[in-house]
Amino acid sequence: MSATQPIKVLVVGASPDALNINTEQRGFLARGFGDLLPPDCVKNTSLELGPQTAMDFSPNLILVFGSCCPDQCEYVPLRRAAESVGAHLAFWLHDDPYEFDYGFKVVEFADTIFTNDRWALEHYRAGRVFHLPMAACPHTHYCDLETFPEKSFDIFFAGAAFENRINMIRDLLPTLRRYRTCIRGSGWPDELPIAQNRWIANRDLPKFFAQSRVVLNLGRDFDLGNERYRLPATTPGPRTFEAAMAGCVQLYFLTGLEIEEYFTPGEEILLFDHASDVSELVACMVGDPERARRIAAASQKRALDEHSYAARAKRILQVCFDGGSS
């Protein structure tokens, strides 16, 4: 790689696009690299087209992003293409620890591995593995705080109805029924009519976040491949950063203290560890809209400053080409 030439990056899906429900996130990452590099130095493609695109584009870095869980994930052609053009081949796996048992599939091919979860990092048996949390895209997730001065909802939640979420919403029903509550997603049982099985596209979520007085943040508790160590998730998922970028007050269900490394409790995010805490927190935000606005603004600023995909892309380039540190 010439010192006078900009780095060229090829972002590739980790699973075939026909099976990949997170192609939008791959686009967010590619745009993050685009915020750092000249426009003709970044390409985004599917796993199926990755090897040929690599041969045509001759990137310095091939970054494979996503889930390696499906059986159809095949990385030999991509490894060969990387060697042919002299590219560094890195993987950013974004579904740890829920799919940790499938991580072995990339170890033999990767020059560098990034995992979205810190506790999962400690259990990889590979040389160059680094922790890299998910992020938000300012081009998609940012909302001006003045866009929705009047809120449509007091409480909002969007997500699939995993068992832990069903249990929490059930416990919160007395509070949810007292306020203007909007819950959207998939798989919600009929016994919870307050939750509507209407999916919201990622690009539309920021408007819902920004129109809500508080946003519930309830992590996922559903594994597809986590039998070996049964690892609990420790790092916040992408929704945490996306909601912050939209400018809202998040009520984050506390499962560990790592969240405090990304947002300051009480100033940029509100934490709770029991359903009984929520009623008071919601009442405070509904009753004190100025404080709610301050928290939303601080959260958004922190996301813009530290938790964009451009920030993550900068870290990736540092690790892959400057050595980095774990």
Token pair for 190:
């009929």
Residue type, 156: F
pLDDT > 60? residue 186:
yes
- CATH number of the domain where residue 98 is located: 3.40.50.2300
| Type and span of the H or E element at 215 | strand 212-217
Using pLDDT thresholds of 50, 70 and 90, give the confidence band for residue 275: very high
Residue 5, pLDDT score: 83
Token pair for 133:
């949390």
Average per-residue pLDDT for the chain: 94
> In sequence order, what E strands does 32-166 have?
42-45, 61-66, 88-93, 112-115, 129-131, 153-160
Using pLDDT thresholds of 50, 70 and 90, give the confidence band for residue 278: very high
Residue 116, pLDDT score: 96
Query: In terms of domains, do 180 and 294 share one?
Result: yes
Question: How far separated are the first and last CA of the chain, in Å rounded?
Answer: 24
Instruction: Give pLDDT tens digits for 9-57.
Output: 999 999 999 887 779 999 999 999 999 999 899 999 999 999 999 999 9
Instruction: Give pLDDT tens digits for 229-251.
Output: 588 899 999 999 999 999 999 99
Instruction: Give pLDDT tens digits for 58-82.
Output: 999 999 999 998 889 999 999 999 9
User: Range of 56's domain?
Assistant: 9-135+308-322
Q: Is residue 94 part of a domain?
A: yes
195-196 and 270-272 strand pairing: unpaired
Query: In terms of domains, do 45 and 25 share one?
Result: yes
Query: In terms of domains, do 198 and 130 share one?
Result: no
Query: In terms of domains, do 131 and 273 share one?
Result: no
- How far is Cα of residue 298 from the mean position of the Cα atoms in its chain? 19
Query: In terms of domains, do 155 and 95 share one?
Result: no
- How far is Cα of residue 16 from the mean position of the Cα atoms in its chain? 19
**The overall pTM is greater than 0.85:** yes
How many structural domains are present in the chain? Answer: 2
Query: In terms of domains, do 229 and 124 share one?
Result: no
Residue 20, pLDDT score: 79
Query: In terms of domains, do 54 and 100 share one?
Result: yes
Query: In terms of domains, do 128 and 150 share one?
Result: no
Residue 226, pLDDT score: 67
Token pair for 183:
């819950």
pLDDT > 90? residue 297:
yes
Report the alpha-carbon distance of residue 4 to residue 167 in Å, rounded: 57
Q: What angle do CA 23, 28, 30 make, to 5 degrees?
A: 95
Q: Is residue 69 part of a domain?
A: yes
pLDDT > 70? residue 325:
no
Q: Is residue 176 part of a domain?
A: yes
Query: In terms of domains, do 219 and 286 share one?
Result: yes
Residue 221, pLDDT score: 80
Query: In terms of domains, do 91 and 120 share one?
Result: yes
Q: How many CB atoms lie within 10 A of CB 52?
A: 12
Q: Is residue 187 part of a domain?
A: yes
Q: Is residue 266 part of a domain?
A: yes
State percent of the chain over pLDDT 90.
87
Q: Is residue 280 part of a domain?
A: yes
- CATH number of the domain where residue 249 is located: 3.40.50.2000
Give me the phi and psi of 197, to 5 degrees please: -85, 70
Instruction: Give pLDDT tens digits for 147-181.
Output: 999 999 999 999 999 999 999 999 999 999 999 99
State percent of the chain over pLDDT 70.
96
Query: Which among 158, 170, 164 has a CA at the least distance from the CA of 197?
Result: 158
Residue 82, pLDDT score: 98
Query: In terms of domains, do 219 and 163 share one?
Result: yes
Residue type, 5: Q
Q: Is residue 1 part of a domain?
A: no
Query: In terms of domains, do 283 and 312 share one?
Result: no
Q: Is residue 293 part of a domain?
A: yes
